[in-house]
Structure 1
Amino acid sequence: MLTLDNLHAGYGGVDVLHGISLTVPKAKVVCLIGSNGAGKTTTMRAISGMIKPSRGAVLLEGHDITGFDSHRIARRGLAHSPEGRRVFPNLSVADNLLLGAFPRFTGSRPKGDIQCDLEQAMDLFPRLKERRHQLAGTLSGGEQQMLAMARAVMLDPEVILLDEPSMGLAPILVDEVFNIIADLRRQNVTMLLVEQFAAAALSVSDYGYVLENGRISIHGPSEQLRDDPAVHAAYLGGGHS
């Protein structure tokens, strides 16, 4: 479970987020939608330690992780699949995935059967299985996005943050990415999803929050938000569905 309580964060001493509060319950998918510049990616960065909140709290499984460095947060069980993918281009697909499990090798996370989890991750992302020995930098954009998501899964995390997984992808690959998110949801993987295609995000999530100018303007069950006239007019009119 992930909880944000009155979170303020930004850059250069100027807050972008002005008191964000939200909850991601265990085994649920929660989406955060909003226009460009609303603060969605800032929220994800503040959660995962890429930037330090100026006020408020981030709780993971009831433990306060506010302001922790990213590696400490990962050890606590939070995996971040960031905007822009950020794979290791000179390493193979398999090695990128094993790096996702690094805290499990060091003993800071329960180890489990890493090799079995590697094979399961590749079964979930069949394109990666075909390219397991290929350098990540030679993959297509869509394949790199799948690799970033699979790498997050390899942590065996408590919560996964997915930041704009469809960015820059062709429509057919967007569909494939959202099918994978739906599969993870059926496996009771806990996720916070930030996504430009609001309709698609609401279709694979249990609950949604709308972020406007660094503040939550409305929230509720995803089905309810999809039927809300104001949300539909602002975010669902021309989006991917």
Structure 2
Amino acid sequence: MLTISNLHAAYGKVEVLHGISLDVPKGKVVTLIGSNGAGKTTTMRAISGMIKPKSGSVTLAGKDVTGLDSHRIARAGLAHSPEGRRVFSTMSVTDNLLLGAFPRFTGARAKGNISQDLERALELFPRLKERQHQLAGTLSGGEQQMLAMARAVMLNPEVVLLDEPSMGLAPILVDEVFRIISRLKAEGVTMLLVEQFAAAALNVADYGYVLENGRISLHGPAESLKNDPAVRAAYLGGGQSH
């Protein structure tokens, strides 16, 4: 569904990604874990068109989208819930969600039943339902994170990129975010998840990749990565069980 092949990306002359390859099959959740500065967010930005890759390819549902503008990649079916939320603070919750469906209104993506999907998004995120008429800027950080995720789902995308959905959230909201990711997975939503909480990410994912200094150092089924001594030592708090 989403295939990254030998991707190189840089900021100016500083190369951050040194030829990474990964695959996100349809209906699966794949997680990319790694320490700060490993290149996780850069990977997401290079996939979604926020930065242009130097070389390599990004293929979405069989279509080469390498280096296209972000809005064209979104039309092709890639939804990006970026690090740091980025909601439209002066618009209502409902209007933020409808903006997520914008390519469906313009005919760039199959329209489907937008009002039904809006209802479904609000059911999936009950906190948003209670606040659907509030301005997004008045929501708590956790609620804004849920809004960014729900807005991504409103595209009716082929693949959702979730970049650090739990960043800065209280533990109770982190649990809520992962419950929602599990529900989306149960509905067959294909996701690439970048997450600082490696244990939680591996619990919800089917497959994982470990990124170190802009290179994939290890990959495999999430279950086997959870039990890998090197992964446990580096990302799962030593030998503690989770």
TM-score range, shorter chain: over 0.9
| Residue 28 of structure 1 pairs with residue 28 of structure 2 | yes
Are 1:200 and 1:240, in contact at CA under 8 Å, matched by a contact in 2?
no
Report the residue type matching 1:135 in the other structure: L
Q: Deviations over 1:126-152 (max 9, x none)?
A: 000000000000000000000000000
CA deviations on 1:166-224 (whole Å, 9 max, x unpaired) are: 00000000000000001111111000000000000000000000000000000000000
In 1: Cα distance, 2:121 partner to 2:107 partner: 21
Q: Which residue of 2 aligns with 1:204?
A: 204
Percent identity over paired residues: 79
* Structure 1 letter corresponding to 2:233: A
SS of structure 1 residue aligned to 2:224: helix
Aligned position for 1:180 = 180
Q: Following TM superposition, by how much is the alpha carbon of 1:240 offset from its aligned partner in structure 2, in angstroms?
A: 11
What corresponds to 2:120 in structure 1?
120
Q: Tell me the TM-score normalized by structure 2.
A: 0.98
User: Which residue of structure 2 lines up, in the alignment, with residue 43 of structure 1?
Assistant: 43
Partners of 1:197 and 1:240 within 8 A in 2: no
Instruction: Decide whether the 8 Å contact of 1:87 with 1:148 is kept in 2.
Output: yes
Whole-angstrom CA distance in 1 between matches of 2:120 and 2:241 = 29
For structure 2, list consecutive stretches of 5 or more residues without a partner in the other structure: none
DSSP-derived class of the 1:36 partner: coil
What is the aligned residue count?
Answer: 241
Q: Over the residues paired in the alignment, what is the CA RMSD in angstroms?
A: 1.1
1:6 aligned onto 2:6: yes
Match of 2:136 in 1: 136
Q: How does 1:1-241 map to 2 (within 5 A)?
A: 1-237=1-237
Shift in Å, 1:13:
2.6
Distance 2:174 2:91 in 1: 25
Cα distance in 1 between the residues matched to 2:66 and 2:14: 18
**Structure 1 spans left out of the alignment, 5+ residues:** none
Q: 1:1-55: per-residue Cα shift (whole Å, max 9, x none)?
A: 1000000002013210000100000000000000000000000000000000001
Equivalent-residue separation in structure 1 for 2:241 and 2:68 (angstroms): 36
- Name the CA distance, whole Å, in 1 between partners of 2:58 and 2:124: 30
